[in-house]
Amino acid sequence: MSMTEEEKTRYELQSYMFKALAHPVRIQLLDRLKTRSWCVCELAVEVGIDKSVASKHLSQLKEAGLIDDEKRGTQVEYRLVAPCVLELANCAVGMVLENRKRKLGLA
Partner DNA sequence: TGCAATGTTTCCATTATTAGCAACAAGAGG
Partner DNA sequence: CCTCTTGTTGCTAATAATGGAAACATTGCA
- C-alpha triplet 88, 93, 94: angle, nearest 5°: 95
Does the CA dihedral 31-34-40-45 come out positive or negative? Answer: negative
- C-alpha triplet 31, 82, 99: angle, nearest 5°: 60
Binding flag, residue 92, a second copy (CB under 8 A): yes
Among 59, 68, 81, 86, binds DNA (CB under 7 A): 59
Among 40, 54, 58, 64, binds a second copy (CB under 8 A): 64
Note the residues at the interface with a second copy (CB under 8 A).
Answer: 1-3, 7-8, 10-19, 21-28, 31, 45-48, 64-66, 81-82, 84, 88-93, 95-100
